[in-house]
Structures are given as C-alpha cells and as structure tokens.
Amino acid sequence: MAKYPGVSMMVTRRLPRYYRCLEDLIQKGVERISSREFAQIIGFTASQIRQDLNCFGGFGQQGYGYNVSVLYQEIGRILSVDREYPAILVGAGNLGLALVNHMGFQQKGFKLTGIFDKNPSIIGKIVGGWPVCDVEEMGAFCKAHKPVAAALCVPDSAALEVAERLVRNGVRGFWNFTHHDLSLLYKQEDVAVENVYLGDSLMTLTFLVTELIEE
Amino acid sequence: MAKYPGVSMMVTRRLPRYYRCLEDLIQKGVERISSREFAQIIGFTASQIRQDLNCFGGFGQQGYGYNVSVLYQEIGRILSVDREYPAILVGAGNLGLALVNHMGFQQKGFKLTGIFDKNPSIIGKIVGGWPVCDVEEMGAFCKAHKPVAAALCVPDSAALEVAERLVRNGVRGFWNFTHHDLSLLYKQEDVAVENVYLGDSLMTLTFLVTELIEE
C-alpha cells in the first residue's frame, strides 16, 4: 500500500524543489523561515506551500514558520532519499557517464551497483568506481543483486527490449532518458517511470525565446 | 510583444509533448486522429487537448478530428522549431558532449555556433563538428556571432558568472543544467530560462519507487 495515496503528481514533483531550496537555506545558515519568505525564495505562493506540506502533516508552527533543518529532514524522509535502493545504469555513453559522475545517486536514495553497455570499446572501463559490464550479463546480475531501479541511457531503438528484460528481472523503477514513454507499457502499481525528455525542455526554451525576441 | 501572451507555462510545457507524439504518429503512417484517440495515446483527456489547442486557434474539425501532419506543422510553427537561433554551449564535459551529439538542436529551433570550456585538455578538441574554444574568448565570440541562447553545462560554482557575462553580451535564453535557478536573476521579459534539474527528477523517482515497494 502506498504511504501517501492521495498525493498528486503535481505535489510530488514540487517536493524535490522544496528539498533543494531548504538545502540552500541550511548552507546559508538560515534556521527558520516563514511560509511568506519561503514563497519568495522558491517562487510558489505561501498558500501553495502550506497546502503542499499539509498533504504530509504540515510541519509549520503558527507564528514561528518552519524550522529549516527539521523541514529538510522531513521532506528528505518523505522523498526517501535516505534509502539505498540498489540501482543500475544501462548505457555508458556521454549522458550515462555524466549521470554516474555528477548526479550523486547516493544522496538521492539510490546506490549504483552496476553499469552496463553493449559497446565492446566501453565494456571493462572503470566509471565512477565501477567496471562497465556487458549488457548480456545484466540478467544474471539482476538475479544476484536485485536492483530496484535502472537509469536508461540506451539508444531509442534498444529502449523497449532493455526495459522489458529488466522488468522480467524484477526492476520496479525507470529513470528513462529514451524517446519512448515507458509509463504507457506498465501499470502504475507495477512499475514507476520517470521520463526525462530533454528535447521537450529544449523546445520549451525555443518557444520562450521566440516570445521574448519576436515582435 | 509576445505572440501568445495569454498562454500559461502549463500549456507551453505540453506543446513539445504533442509535437513528439504527432511525429510518432506520422512515422506510423497515421493521417488523421480524433481527440479521443489522441488522448489515449498521449495520456491527457480529450477535453484537455481541445482546450490546449484552442489557445492557438483549434486546428480540429468537427466529425473529422485532427489532420496529423497539419497539426504537427502547426505546433512546430508555434514552438518555432523551424527557426535557426544561433546558440552556444558552455561546458563540454560529458553532459555537454551528450547534448551536442544527441540532442538535435537543429530540429528544435537552434543552430549551435560555438562550444566553450575552460579546461585546457578539452579546448581545441572537435565536438559535433565544432572546435571547443577557450571560455575566455566567449565575449568576443558573442559580439561577432550574436548567439541568442546558451546551454549551460558548467560546474555550479561557475554558473552565475558565466550567465552574467552572456547576458551582458546579448544572450536572451538559457538552457540551464546547473543547480542555480537562473530565472530568479532576470526579469521574465528580459531573459528566458529553462532550468533542467535532473536531481529533482531522480528524487521524484525515489518517491515513486518507495510508494510502489513499501508496505
């Protein structure tokens, strides 16, 4: 049973932003903040913030506001970034390497346990402390190490086959950088999918830039 | 003056998804589609689709639905992906390289005209057909080639300084992969910012996976 069954994807997507913003406040030495001040920094309204946080129990105190480090810990706990879900990365091209080297999986609830690729010139290289393994060994690896999630940085043409193979081997979540909307393939209660469409983001910028510069 | 002043960011962000989905339909040979069928494929409701597209003039015909290739062209035109805005990339690490090699800037309204980095071991390398230039040459380059937008793949610590320098040199849009919310620094009518927080996306997956697997 889901722990927060009533929480919408809109609220879910705002949680990491709260978390990131609170981390910045801690680094700046801010100990407490009103929802009005928090709103100005984060760019939501104060009422939005109160409403979002009320989905999980509130955490604010009338006349005091929020204790920054307590709220940070609470949201981290809700997001489950304190976990160490075993995860793998499939596709060790430039994007995969960027994720392994800079994403900080461990601060976000995952522990990278394996990296896979099918390119013989990449297999065997050490990336982020891990040797890149042949994607053909992935099934056996999954049986032995039971990764819960996978970051998919494979070419679009390989996405569906790799995803299917991983689901058959027990993977329950995808961080999907391919073109294919994997969420259409699985029931929400079976597999969690976070699609990252970088191309959509770039086209959004195209629209916004045009709105700015065109008369 | 903006061409579509009343259009919300929510609608704007759905446009690339329509565009991508229509491209898939064209490749599958689909010539026409009802808003009900379109809704099933894209995962929005039919009324949402009609409402979104009505912001730009509709394009559907009662009893016929949508002509797939006409709608594809219209949305491409609204997004302005047919433009060739000169753009640069700053930061040619793994993430930068992944964007240059796989993002297809040209199909999304931008023409990459320069790549910059400060790392001497990268400067001079050829990436996607372009030599990586010293970031110190960026100002002179901007004066000569007037890039409209920049993809920022620099370390967080360099983000603000690089962004400021680019804005002083006429850049009006950022595709921002750093930790800093650049949209807080500039007025919306001066600089368009598309922040990509990959870490937020990963934490969203953490939450969703936990909701799936925890009792």
ipTM field: 0.95
Q: Is B132 left (phi over 0), alpha (psi -120 to 50) or beta?
A: beta
The one-letter code for the residue type at A189 is: E
pLDDT of residue B61: 76
Distance of CA A25 to the CA centre of its chain: 21
Number of residues that this document lists for chain B: 215
In this predicted structure, the answer to whether residue A215 has a pLDDT above a threshold of 60 is no
- Chain A residue closest in CA terms to B173: A209
**Shortest Cα distance, chain B CAs vs residue A59, angstroms:** 19
pLDDT of residue A3: 84
CB pairs under 8 A between A and B: 204
- Chain B residue closest in CA terms to A101: B94
- Of all residues in chain A, the percent with pLDDT exceeding 90 is 80
Contact (CB<8Å) B80/A149: no
pLDDT of residue B149: 98
In this predicted structure, the answer to whether residue B215 has a pLDDT above a threshold of 60 is no
**Shortest Cα distance, chain B CAs vs residue A203, angstroms:** 6
**Shortest Cα distance, chain A CAs vs residue B154, angstroms:** 12
- Chain A residue closest in CA terms to B197: A17
Q: What CA–CA distances, in Å, run from A141 to A91, A122, A133, A148, A151?
A: 15, 18, 10, 12, 15
* Alpha carbon distance A46, A37 (integer Å): 8
| Residues of chain A contacting B109 with CB distance shorter than 8 Å | 202-203, 206, 209-210
In this predicted structure, the answer to whether residue A1 has a pLDDT above a threshold of 80 is no
**Shortest Cα distance, chain B CAs vs residue A164, angstroms:** 17
- Return the bridge partners of B114, or none: B88
pLDDT of residue A2: 77
Average pLDDT over residues B161-168: 97
Average pLDDT of the residues of chain B: 93
- By the 10 Å C-beta count (0-12 exposed, 13-18 middle, 19+ buried), B185 is classed as middle
pLDDT of residue B210: 95
Residue B192, C-beta contacts closer than 8 angstroms, at least 6 positions apart: A205, A208, A209, A211, A212, B149, B172, B173, B174
In this predicted structure, the answer to whether residue A43 has a pLDDT above a threshold of 90 is no
Residue A58, C-beta contacts closer than 8 angstroms, at least 6 positions apart: A50
Task: State chain B's maximal CA–CA distance in angstroms.
Answer: 62
In this predicted structure, the answer to whether residue B60 has a pLDDT above a threshold of 80 is no
For residue A116, which of A138, A97, A98 has the smallest C-alpha distance?
Answer: A138
Contact (CB<8Å) A194/B201: yes
Task: Nearest by CB to A94, from B12, B101, B148: name it.
Answer: B101
For residue A163, which of A186, A140, A146, A141 has the smallest C-alpha distance?
Answer: A186
Task: Nearest by CB to A98, from B94, B108, B179: name it.
Answer: B94
| Residues of chain A contacting B20 with CB distance shorter than 8 Å | 179, 197, 199-200
| Residues of chain B contacting A79 with CB distance shorter than 8 Å | 203, 206-207
* Alpha carbon distance B41, B153 (integer Å): 33
Return the HEC string of A48-96: HHHHHHHCCCCCCECCCEEEHHHHHHHHHHHHCCCCCEEEEEECCCHHH
- Return the bridge partners of B90, or none: B116, B152
In this predicted structure, the answer to whether residue B1 has a pLDDT above a threshold of 70 is no
Contact (CB<8Å) A197/B12: no
Q: Where are the beta strands (DSSP E) in chain B?
A: 32-33, 66-67, 85-90, 110-117, 126-127, 130-134, 149-152, 173-176, 192-195
| 8 A C-beta contact, residue B103 and residue B88 | no
In this predicted structure, the answer to whether residue B202 has a pLDDT above a threshold of 90 is yes
Average pLDDT over residues A208-214: 93
The residue among B95, B174, B196, B205 with the most chain A CBs within 10 A of its CB, best to mutate, is B205
The token pair that represents B201 in the structure block? 């996306």
Contact (CB<8Å) B210/A109: yes
* Alpha carbon distance A196, A96 (integer Å): 13
pTM confidence score:
0.93
Contact (CB<8Å) A204/B172: no
String of DSSP letters for B150-193: EEE-S-HHHHHHHHHHHHHTT--EEEE-SSS-GGGTS-TTT-EE
* Alpha carbon distance A187, A63 (integer Å): 44
The token pair that represents B141 in the structure block? 């380059």
Of the pLDDT bands very low, low, confident and very high (cuts 50, 70, 90), residue B5 is: confident
Residue written as token pair 């679009």:
A156
- Chain B residue closest in CA terms to A40: B184
